[in-house]
Amino acid sequence: MIIKTTEVQAINSFFRLESLKEVYGIIWMFVPILTLVLGITIGVLVIVWLEREISAGIQQRIGPEYAGPLGILQALADGTKLLFKENLLPSRGDTRLFSIGPSIAVISILLSYSVIPFGYRLILADLSIGVFLWIAISSIAPFGLLMSGYGSNNKYSFLGGLRAAAQSISYEIPLTLCVLSISLLSNSSSTVDIVEAQSKYGFGGWNLWRQPIGFIVFLISSLAECERLPFDLPEAEEELVAGYQTEYSGIKFGLFYVASYLNLLVSSLFVAVLYLGGWNLSISYIFVPELFEIDKAGRVFGTIIGIFIILAKTYLFLFISITTRWTLPRLRMDQLLNLGWKFLLPIALGNLLLTTSFQLLSL
């Protein structure tokens, strides 16, 4: 059978076109991931700058002012400095655990961003179990801290790792019970569905008003999960030098620093999604229907407005977290555990039972 030259060329051009389509598809698949990572990086740099400026204002001193305009590049300068510093390894420690620990802490938190919606269709993975996937993934981070403490072969580091694990277990349970109450109210565990359930009545439809007790418990538990003052017992400098990160230097120390701010940002985003209406405007459909038509249609203007709205709500919670750091004194370890087990857990459980009862009565 003789095949003409023109047919061979046509077949070759077809296969080239198909291979180009596959390459284009693979590249396009990574574009949303890289965009999200870039946005997270910028968000963390802004948080670091805001914390330093707000802290300086509270303490009546001058904050960062030399690295870039208004000191905005100070965090970038610190990261560059840590990148070029020497990585020291403890001579008698477990080097594998010591090296893997910071990576586990950062990666587990980064994966949580995949289920956060910044708009109606602006989400990396809209899963039916979105909020519980976040809780499951974030519970892996304390393992990294425990591995770091154990691999350091240092009593202070090991105590810090144990404290991090105990604190995470103590406050994850009330946090999960609050999230379960929100899922019952919204009849879904998808983050997009939870935001949509709050959007019908605008400002009055926020879960903040329907779950005020759950909001307070969630707020306290998320601060404890982020190990922010007054809950930073795993790295209390007066007792444990620097806790699980005592033996770290260079970029590995920087990874712990980044992980704490990543965790703070993701917790703030979930506060905005679960309790503050997410990307939606705080105005009822009845009053301004055309704005919500733009938002629901997924147009560019509506998407940009939605991103700005959810970021404004997120940074409002971040402001509360930063001011809390310089307002309240650090708790003792026994006080921290008592608060989690004896107060927050019964309150969160009672809130869940009340929510379930109201949902059953409304059927």
Asked if 48 contacts 75 with a C-beta cutoff of 8 angstroms, the reply is yes
pLDDT at 285: 45
pTM value?
Answer: 0.86
CA atoms of 77 and 54, how far apart (whole Å): 19
- Count the neighbouring beta carbons within 10 Å of the beta carbon of residue 288: 12
- Number of helices (H), then strands (E), belonging to the chain: the values are 15, 0
SS3 1: coil
Mean pLDDT computed over 1-6: 55
pLDDT, tens only, 284-324: 544 444 444 444 444 677 788 888 999 999 999 999 888 88
The answer to the question of residue 98 being in a domain is: yes
The answer to the question of residue 277 being in a domain is: yes
pLDDT at 79: 83
The answer to the question of residue 78 being in a domain is: no
pLDDT at 289: 44
pLDDT at 240: 67
pLDDT, tens only, 206-245: 999 999 999 999 999 999 888 887 888 777 666 666 778 8
CA atoms of 358 and 165, how far apart (whole Å): 35
The tally of domains found in the chain comes to 1
pLDDT at 287: 45
CA atoms of 268 and 265, how far apart (whole Å): 5
Q: How far is CA 358 from CA 351, 352, 354, 362, in A?
A: 11, 10, 6, 6
The answer to the question of residue 229 being in a domain is: yes
The answer to the question of residue 183 being in a domain is: yes
The answer to the question of residue 347 being in a domain is: yes
Domain span at residue 102? 85-362
Whether pLDDT at 190 is above 80: yes
Q: Which residues contact 354 (CB under 8 A, 6 or more apart)?
A: none
CA atoms of 177 and 350, how far apart (whole Å): 10
pLDDT, tens only, 19-69: 666 666 777 777 778 888 888 888 888 898 898 888 888 888 888 888 878
Mean pLDDT computed over 322-339: 86
The answer to the question of residue 15 being in a domain is: no
* Residue 272 pLDDT class (50, 70, 90 cuts): very high
* In the chain, % of residues over pLDDT 70: 86
The answer to the question of residue 55 being in a domain is: no
Mean pLDDT computed over 1-5: 53
